[in-house]
Amino acid sequence: MGEKHYLIMLDIDARKRHYHLADAGKITKFAVQLEVKIGGTWKEVVRYDCAHDYAHKDLYNIEGKRSKINLYMNYEDALLFADDDINENWETYK
């Protein structure tokens, strides 16, 4: 089994948290999220994961309210999409 977990600083007040678990080369769990620092506290802005047994995207507003979007993708495609989306659009999300 391959497990990866890392944190990448994108700016002084923005970071990407990445986690995935693979079994025989197949992604079985993942979570990728953008966090921003607001008033000294790190807050989620966007998160991609499979916590409810399907790949989805959670968007959080300034009050912390969440909206969930089904990605209709397998875990491997969703993980790649999540990394690319946050890498390319983190400043817009922030």
Assign 93 to helix, strand or coil.
helix
Can you give the residue range of the structural domain that contains 87?
2-93
The per-residue pLDDT for range 31-64, each reduced to its tens digit, is 999 999 999 999 999 999 999 899 999 999 888 8
Instruction: Give this prediction's pTM.
Output: 0.92
> How many domains does the chain contain in total?
1
Quote the pLDDT of residue 1. 62
Helix (H) or strand (E) holding 9: strand 2-11
The share of the chain scoring above pLDDT 70, in percent, equals 99
| Residue in 89, 83, 93 with CA at minimum distance from that of residue 27 | 83
